[in-house]
Structure 1
Amino acid sequence: MQKFEWTDSLSVGVPMIDTQHKELIAAFNDLSDAIEQGTGSTSIKKLLVFLQYFTEWHFGQEESCAAKHKCPIAGTNQQAHAKFLEIFGELKTRYRESGASEEIARQVHTQLADWLVSHIMTIDTQLGQCIRHRSTSVA
């Protein structure tokens, strides 16, 4: 399974957001390890629960920051987050209903990790530019 390494191309230039993104990438890499090692559905389920709660918390943090800095991309970001949570919920349900199928776990990993990297590199980088610009213009 594909693993993700943090690179400067993923940095949005806002330390709080970058740190949270690093945690998400680490969790996806842990999910990859669990699937590859066949450590059983228990560890995969725990990672899925962690990913759900952490992404919800992270999205709330990011959306609050975007609102505070009145970023024009804030609405688009919020819609993208809602779509992610919808897709995540559907995949998690499919995983549970499949009896913890490794194939569905792989789909969860691939689809969501690809979404995350794409989201960071498109929407979140714009969000980071706005936050950095508004933070320096206020100071």
Structure 2
Amino acid sequence: MAIGLPLIDMQHKQLLDQMDELLEALNTKQDPKQLVHILGYLDMYVNNHFGYEEQCMNLKKCPVAGKNKAAHEYFQTRLGAIRQMIDNYGSSELVARQVSVELLEWFVNHIRTIDVKLSEMP
């Protein structure tokens, strides 16, 4: 899954670990306060990582920089929707499925199709 840029690879691993932790918390029906804590950390880390990655793409004049930014905005919208689902429904199979598909699978695909372009830049 690595794209060959150590800092970004480390950040991707952290984000995937946090999404896994959220999924585990949902599947084990942990306290809603724990879910809020995980979501808060994930939201903060996503903002920092996306900002750094977008800055790198802009500096390297990466041709997918605009597509990357739009994809990040989409992810943040979905993260907000999942936060709302957790507020409304707490831990449920539906929310766990949404996290798996809309966050984890989406993020892995994003790394493989868009983020990898950054490592191809001189």
- The two structures have a TM-score, normalised by structure 2, of 0.90
**Structure 2 Cα separation of the partners of residues 78 and 129 of structure 1:** 18
Runs of at least 5 residues in structure 1 that lack an aligned partner in the other structure: 1-9, 135-139
SS at match of 2:120: helix
Q: Are the counterparts in 1 of residues 86 and 95 from structure 2 also a CA contact under 8 Å?
A: yes
> How many residue pairs end up in the alignment?
121
**Alignment partner of 1:25 out of 8, 11, 16:** 16
Match of 1:35 in 2: 26
After superposition, what is the alpha-carbon deviation per residue over 1:73-104, rounded to whole angstroms, capped at 9, x for unaligned? Answer: 11110110011111111221122123x24234
**Alignment partner of 2:99 out of 109, 121, 128:** 109
The residue type paired with residue 40 of structure 2 is V
**Structure 1 Cα separation of the partners of residues 98 and 20 of structure 2:** 12
**Structure 1 Cα separation of the partners of residues 27 and 77 of structure 2:** 26
- The two structures have a TM-score, normalised by structure 1, of 0.80
**Structure 2 Cα separation of the partners of residues 32 and 94 of structure 1:** 14
Query: 2:16 aligned with 1:14, yes or no?
Result: no
**Structure 2 Cα separation of the partners of residues 45 and 26 of structure 1:** 16
Match of 1:48 in 2: 39
SS at match of 1:35: helix
Match of 2:63 in 1: 72
The alignment yields a C-alpha RMSD, in angstroms, of 1.4
How far does residue 105 in structure 1 lie from its aligned partner after superposition?
3.4
Which structure has the larger Rg? Answer: 1
Runs of at least 5 residues in structure 2 that lack an aligned partner in the other structure: none
Match of 1:3 in 2: none
User: Percent of aligned positions with the same letter in both sequences?
Assistant: 32
